[in-house]
Amino acid sequence: MKQLLSAILLLSFAATLPVRGQEATPLEQDKPVERELAAGDKHTFEIVLSANEFVYGEADQQTVDVVVTVYNPDGHLLETFDSPARGPEPFQFKSEREGTYRIEVAPFKEETGRYIMRLLRMEPVATTLEEQVDQLMATYDRPGTPGCAVGLYRNDALAHAKGYGMADLEQGTPITSRTVFDIGSTSKQFTAASLVLLQNQGKLSLSDDVRTFIPELPDYGNVITIRHLLNHTSGLRDYIRLMLMMGTDIDDVTTDEEALRAITLQRALNFQPGEEHLYSNSGYFLASLIVERVSGQTLRTFARKHIFEPLGMNHTTYIDDHTAIVPHRAIGYDNSPRGGYRRDVSYWEQNGDGAVFTTVEDLLKWDQNFYNPRIGGANLNEALLQRGILNSGDTLDYALGLRHGEHREVKTVRHGGSWGGYRAELMRVPSEHVSVAVLCNLGSTIPTQLARRVLEVVLADQLAEAEERVPSADDREMVEIDPGLFDDYVGEYELQPGFSLTFTREENRFFGQDTGQSRFEIFPSSDSTFFPTAFEATLTFHRDPDGTVSRLTLHQGGDHVARRPYTLTVEELSAYAGRYYSPELETTYTLDIEDGKLVARHAKLDSTTLTPRAKDSFSGDQWYMRGVAFERGDDHVDAMVVSAGQIKNLRFERQE
C-alpha cells in the first residue's frame, strides 16, 4: 500500500577504491572471524577465486551496523551491501575472472562494536535456470529467516515458482509458491483496472470530476479528475503521512472514515492538478471509494466478481478487515534492533492504494490477461498502459497503476509495493513475453532488484551488456588550479540530517569524505568543479555574492544540494520556540530549546531536532519535518510551514 514511511534517501556515493597497503585477512569457508570495529576503522578480507565462482557470506552485526563492499582483482567496485542495523548483513557476488577479491567492512557512520564475518558458500556459478535463481536467493534460502516467493512467467507458462525462507517463524511454516503475501502498492494496477472496467460499462469516465462522486472533497478551484488520481497528478497530499503527522500510530486500527477526513481537512493542494507528478496514496484510496459509490459494492467485492474470479485467481483478494482470516498468509517481519526479527503487520483497513493479498501462482493468471485478455479486452490493457500527461504536455513514465521503465536497454512495465514488513514487485518485459513476480515478507528486502537479477538470468542473451566502466582522471579534462583556492571549499557540507560531505586539502591534493566512509581524491575540471575517479559524479562549489562558499551541488543521478552548517545562538533559536497548531491536522507541535538545539515535539511522535539551514529555514531529522520554514509578521515568528515528501507547505499557526 503505500510507501515505506521510514525510508530515508541515503546518497552514499563514496564508493572508494580499497587501500592497497592495508593488510587483508584471508576469508575461508566455514571459518568465522570475529572482529571489533572502532569509529573510522576499515577491515579488509580477501578471497582467492577462479573464474565463474559464486560467493555468499554474511557479516553478523553483533553490536555494530556495518557496510560491506566487494572489489574485483583490479580494485574496481563490484557491489556495496548495507541493509539492517543488526543481525546478518548478507553479501554475495560472482567472480568475473581468476584473482584475489577484496571485501571491506566499515562501520555505518561513526558506530563502534563487534561483528562476525562468515563465508558460507563458495561454489561454481550455476548453469540451469532453477539453480541460478536459487543462488540469487541464497540470502533467504535458509531456516530461521523470512524470505520471498519468486514466480517467473514465460509465454503464459510458469517457468519457475519457488519459495525461499519462512512464511511464519513461530510456526516454522516455509514459504511456497502458494504462500499469500500483502503486495502493497503493486495492488494499484487492480484498483485502476476496476475503474477502467466501470468506464467500459458506461458508469463513469476517467475524465470525470472526482467531486461528482466524493462531494466531501473541498473545491480547490480546479477540477481534479479520476485520471489525475490514478496518474498521481492530483496534487492531493498523501493521507498516510497526514494521519501519521496527526499522531496515528502505524500499528493502530484505522478506517476509511478516518482516512477520508484526513484528506478533506486539507485547505490546499501540493500543486494544481496536472501541474506535477507526485506519488500520493490519497488518489488510489479515493479511487476505492469511487468504485464503491458507483458500483454499490466494496472494491473487495467488485474486484472479486470482475477480475479475480473470472481469471481463476482463487487465492487473491483485497483485505478491508484487519480481523479477516487469510489461509496460507505469510507474516510480515522487520529486522529487530536487538537482533533477529520482529513482526510488522498493519491493521489499517483502507484499500485501493494497496491491500491486495495474492500468490506468485495467482499473479501468473493476471499476467496472462496482459498478453491474452480474458477480461476487459484489449481496451483494458491499453488504458492501463497509457502514460500520464502533465498540463505542460510532458509525458510521464507513470500510467495507471503501472510504471514504464527500462533495464539494460530493454523496456519494462512494472510496479513495486511496500507496506509493513511486506515487499513486492511485478515486472514485465513485454517484448520478450517474460515477467517476474517477487513477493517477500521481510522489510529489508529489495524485490525490484531481485526481479531485475532474475530477468538478467533468463534473458542473458537478449539483454544488452551493462557498461561497467570505472572512470579515471585521464578520461576527463583535468585542469591546474592554485591549490590555495581549494581552501575556500574546505569544510563540511550537509546533504541531509546526519549525512555530510567533508573536504580537505593536503598540499596540492584535494579529498572528500562522506559520513562514516573512507575519503576519496577529487580532481579539478575548473576552479569550481571537481570529480572523483572512484565513481561517476561531479561536484560544483558555489560562491555567494560576498565571495564566500556556503553550498555545493552533487551531480549524480540528479542534482543534490549540500550546505555548510548555518549556526544560530540560543537566543536567536528562542525566537522560534512556542506552540504551533495546524487546523488541517487538528494537532499541535511544541518547539523548545534543548541543549542549545531547537526541538519539535508531538504527544504521540518521536521528537525531531531542527537544524538551521538559512534565516527562518530549518530541516528536521525525522521524516515528518524534513523541511521547515518560518513566517514572520512585524519581525515576530507567527507561523511554521512544513514540507515532508508527499506533503508540501502544511501550515501551522503559532499559538499565544
Please state the domain extents for the chain: 22-125, 181-458, 473-563, 570-655
Task: Tell me the angle at which helices 239-246 and 256-264 cross, rounded to the nearest 10 degrees.
Answer: 90
Sequence-ordered list of residues with C-beta below 8 angstroms from that of 395, at least 6 positions apart, any chain:
387, 388, 389
Architecture of domain 473-563: Beta Barrel (2.40)
Using DSSP, state whether 511 is helix, strand or coil.
Answer: strand
To the nearest 10°, report the CA torsion of 193, 197, 202, 205. 0
Asked, colleague to colleague, whether 181-458 and 473-563 share their fold, the answer is no
Give residue 498's pLDDT. Answer: 65
Give residue 534's pLDDT. Answer: 66
Q: Tell me: domain 570-655, CATH 2.40.128.50, correct?
A: yes
Q: What is the mean pLDDT of the chain?
A: 90
CA–CA dist 81, 63 (Å, integer): 17
CA–CA dist 621, 606 (Å, integer): 10
Give residue 94's pLDDT. Answer: 94
Sequence-ordered list of residues with C-beta below 8 angstroms from that of 438, at least 6 positions apart, any chain:
148, 149, 150, 151, 424, 425, 447, 448, 450, 451, 454
Going across the sheet that includes 181-182, the strands are 181-182, 356-358, 317-318
> Comparing C-alpha atoms, which of 282, 279, 271 is closest to residue 235?
271
Longest Cα–Cα distance of the chain, Å, equals: 75
- The CATH class of 181-458 is alpha beta
Give residue 472's pLDDT. Answer: 43
For 444-467, the pLDDT digits (tens) are 899 999 999 999 999 988 775 544
Which mean pLDDT values do the consecutive 10-residue runs of the chain (656 residues) have?
Answer: 33 38 83 90 94 95 90 88 79 94 88 93 95 95 93 96 97 97 98 98 98 98 98 98 93 94 98 97 98 98 98 97 94 87 92 97 97 94 97 97 92 95 96 97 93 93 54 61 90 81 89 78 91 84 90 86 89 96 97 96 94 90 91 92 94 94
CATH topology of domain 22-125: Jelly Rolls (2.60.120)
Give residue 315's pLDDT. Answer: 98
CA–CA dist 301, 292 (Å, integer): 9
> Comparing C-alpha atoms, which of 61, 81, 287, 79 is closest to residue 188?
287
Going across the sheet that includes 53-61, the strands are 33-37, 113-124, 53-61, 87-94
The set of cell numbers assigned to 333 is 517481519
Give residue 474's pLDDT. Answer: 45
Residue 460: phi and psi, rounded to 5, are -55, -40
CA–CA dist 95, 55 (Å, integer): 8
CA–CA dist 334, 200 (Å, integer): 41
pTM of the model: 0.86
CA–CA dist 502, 481 (Å, integer): 20
Give residue 21's pLDDT. Answer: 38
